[in-house]
Amino acid sequence: MKLPDPQAFATSWTSQFSDPAQWQSWFNMVPDVQSHPIGAILRDAGATIKPDTIEQLKNEYLQQFGALWQEVLSGKAPSLSDRRFSSSAWQSNPVTAFNAASYLLNAKFLTAMADAIDAAPQQKQKIRFAVQQVVDAMSPANFLATNPEAQQKLVESKGESLTKGLANMLGDMQKGHISLSDESAFEVGRNLALTPGHVIYENDLFQLIQYTPATAKVHERPLLMVPPCINKFYILDLQPENSVVRYAVEQGNTVFLVSWRNPDQSMAQVSWDDYVERGVINAIGLVRDISGQDKVNAFGFCVGGTLVSTALAVLAARGEQPAASLTLLTTFLDFSDTGVLNVFVDETQVALREQSLKAGGLMPGRDLATTFSSLRPNDLVWNYVQSNYLKGNEPVPFDLLYWNSDSTNLPGPMFCWYLRNTYLENSLKEPGKLTVAGEKIDLSAIDAPAFIYASREDHIVPWTSAYSSLNILNPKKPKANRFVLGASGHIAGVINPASKKKRSYWINDEATPKTAKAKRADADTWLQGAAEHAGSWWPEWAKFLAEHGGKDIKAPTQPGNAAYRPIEPAPGRYVKMKAD
């Protein structure tokens, strides 16, 4: 094995990134980055690194590369802590171990250089994100020529693994996405979305499902669940053992749920106002009519929570307060900090979307799926490239990953309004700044106690951003709000069944201001004083719903009413529609 001279290698590696022209030259050699929108930002950034910083990084790199060199020359395979290189095929061979170790060292210092760039915070975040995409893509584990596990399987299978891998890759090319799960193992309505119920209303935007009670008595106030329109609703009703919907039904709630239609060209002109007025507000009216109750317990997950809150603010402007309570799961109301998604949103990118979609059209579901996969490329892209294509393995059945690949389109006008007014301009939290469905909206005018849940490792809705909703809702009644922080991420934190007794959650009710004039603790202070509890947060939510559910009454024996008859069994047709 011939190794490079360490001094020359270190000098060459670090000197590539000392000025904008060299950044541009390096990125031009990487087609995936060059074609990515962020590649243009990098080439036009004009970002630099201070010479003394370059020198410091070079010296650190040289020191660590020299130590790695000495390990290899002594016949000792470098230790590899990265899970991508944890198998004996990487660890036992000095050549492959050095290849992986030098990649990790190079990745570490390329990332350090990105962090050292002199640039505005958002520009720096975009550069850091793009560099990380390249770093992850260039892992030796991603290529057959440098992956000893794949090579070993190729020999042991006498070439069969390569044949299967190519077949898997061609199949995915036809589907338009990487298979994360055995998609033949699942079917919505057969072994997903199984909670019994009926569709009792539909229009061109959504179907309304009423679920069959599981208890003899129910809380008189029904629960209306609004899932995100950016995904299929059955993330809340995967299988009986991990279904939020089934759990809510079993806790004595009469549950209604909005099942959004997967948009096609007939919905190319649908706006945010339509989702609020003809979607959520319409659903609230239907549930009140069918249940005979003036108030409902409203629920929104992610974008669904933003829609529900907007709808309730519109109704408040009209003098109506139909919510007995409001549950928001991993929801933005304050978009000050949108985490890593911020790299996809600036004036230039939003204006480009508006130019192509504002007047009509569809935001393809595959583009949205690609965006979210890029937030965790090693977990949602390269892991499956290695397993499915290089090693010829078949993906195992996994309900959550099947759902993750079942993408939805979005109407262009709705998507553009959402991008500009929330992510870009953060106008939703400002009283009276936005007009929705003909009304100037003020989220603080919603008169309903709020249960706000966030996930601690959420990379889509940072938990501190969800916490900010406490300062927007019920400003004159801060004690009406409840905040619960769960472990794990955006999806796994929410889908944490009480029966499994897994993970944990944090509460700190003592931090709730006692009066409207009292200052609320910031998020970090809240967490420092919070108590951790083992298991799922679901029982805390069930208790909250019971407190605002009214008296117990006999469960309804039939879905709908005289005006709204069952149309078809749950989960209905809309959720089964595939994105074009």
> pLDDT tens digits, residue range 277-294?
999 999 999 999 999 999
Residue 208 bridge partners (DSSP): 201, 258
User: For residue 512, what are its two tokens?
Assistant: 């709730």
Least confident of 346-350, 459-463, 473-477, 518-522: 518-522
Tokens representing 468? 């900010």
278: left (phi over 0), alpha (psi -120 to 50) or beta: alpha
φ/ψ (deg, to 5) at 139: -60, 135
Among all chains, which residue has been given the structure tokens 């061609």? 170
Q: What is the pLDDT of residues 45-66, one digit of tens each?
A: 556 777 888 888 888 888 888 8
Report the pLDDT averaged over residues 493-520.
Answer: 90
Q: Which two tokens stand for residue 384?
A: 């499956």
Residues 335 and 304 in one domain: yes
Q: Write out the DSSP string of 175-239.
A: HTS---S-GGG--BTTTBS-S-EEEEEE-SSEEEEEEPPSSSEEESS-EEEE--TTS-GGGGSSS
In a shared domain, residues 164 and 146: no
**363, 412 Cβ separation under 8 angstroms:** yes
Q: CA dist 432 to 224, 294, 418, 437, 477, Å?
A: 26, 26, 17, 13, 20
Is residue 112, in this structure, part of any structural domain at all?
yes
Helix (H) or strand (E) holding 258: strand 255-260
Range with the poorest average pLDDT among 28-32, 303-307, 358-362, 510-514: 28-32
Q: Are residues 279 and 220 in the same domain?
A: yes
Whether the pLDDT of residue 371 is over 80: the answer is: yes
Of 156 and 53, more confident: 156
User: How much is the pLDDT for 65?
Assistant: 87
From the number of C-beta atoms within 10 Å of its C-beta (0-12, 13-18, 19+), residue 351 rates as middle
Half-sphere exposure of 174 (CA within 13 A, CB side): 5
For residue 39, is pLDDT > 50?
Answer: no
- Residue 77 confidence (pLDDT): 78
- Do 254 and 375 belong to one domain? no
Residue 401, pLDDT > 60, answer yes
| Per-residue confidence (pLDDT) for residue 45, from 0 to 100 | 53
The answer to whether the CB of 80 falls within 8 A of the CB of 104 is: yes
Place of tokens 């304050």: 334
On whether both 380 and 327 belong to a single domain, the answer is no
Residue 32 has pLDDT above 50, yes or no: no
Tell me the H-state helices in 212-320: 244-250, 272-274, 282-291, 303-317
- Residue 104: predicted pLDDT: 93
> Averaged over 447-471, what is the pLDDT?
97
**Which residue, among 368, 300, 375, 297, has the nearest Cα to 331 in the 3D structure?**
300
Q: Are residues 381 and 501 in the same domain?
A: no
Tens digit of each residue's pLDDT (9 = 90 or more) over 161-210: 999 999 999 999 988 889 999 999 999 999 999 999 999 999 999 999 99
Please give the single-letter amino acid code of residue 259: S
320 plus 376 within the same structural domain: no
Report d(CA 456, CA 330) in Å as an integer. Answer: 10
Q: What is the pLDDT of residues 230-246, one digit of tens each?
A: 999 999 999 999 999 99
The identity of residue 181, as a single letter, is S
Separation between Cα atoms, residue 526 and residue 512, nearest integer Å: 9
Residue 402 lies in a domain: no
What is the DSSP-derived secondary structure letter of residue 490? T
Q: Same domain, yes or no, for 290 and 376?
A: no
Give the C-alpha separation, 331 to 335, whole Å: 10
The mean of the pLDDT values for the chain is: 90
DSSP state of 292: T
Instruction: Domain count for the chain, please give it.
Output: 3
75 and 13: one domain?
yes
CA distance 235 to 278: 23
Confidence band of 248 (pLDDT split at 50, 70, 90) = very high
The pLDDT value recorded for residue 15 is: 44
CA 373 to CA 407: how far, in whole Å?
A: 12
pLDDT beyond 60 at 218: yes
Rg (CA), the chain: 26
Q: Is residue 474 part of a domain?
A: yes
Check whether residue 295 and residue 334 sit in a common domain. yes
Q: Which positions ≥6 away from 129 have C-beta within 8 Å?
A: 38, 340, 343
Which one has a higher pLDDT value, 21 or 153? 153
Return the pLDDT at 46. Answer: 56
Q: What is the C-alpha to C-alpha distance for residues 451 and 470, in angstroms, rounded to an integer?
A: 9
Mean pLDDT of 453-469: 97
Do 221 and 323 sit in the same domain of this protein?
yes
Task: Tell me the average pLDDT across 412-441.
Answer: 97
Q: Which residue has the higher pLDDT, 580 or 417?
A: 417
Q: Is residue 401 part of a domain?
A: no
Q: How does residue 497 score in pLDDT terms, banded at 50, 70 and 90?
A: very high
pLDDT confidence of residue 201 = 98
**Position 189 in a domain:** no
Q: Which residues form the catalytic set? A: 302
Residue for token pair 């609020």: 276
Look at residues 236, 147, 74, 168 and name the one whose alpha carbon lies nearest to residue 393: 168
The CATH number that applies at residue 452 is 3.40.50.1820
**Do residues 69 and 131 share a domain?**
yes
Range of the domain at 106: 6-154
pLDDT score at 528: 96
Cβ–Cβ < 8 Å for 407, 579: yes
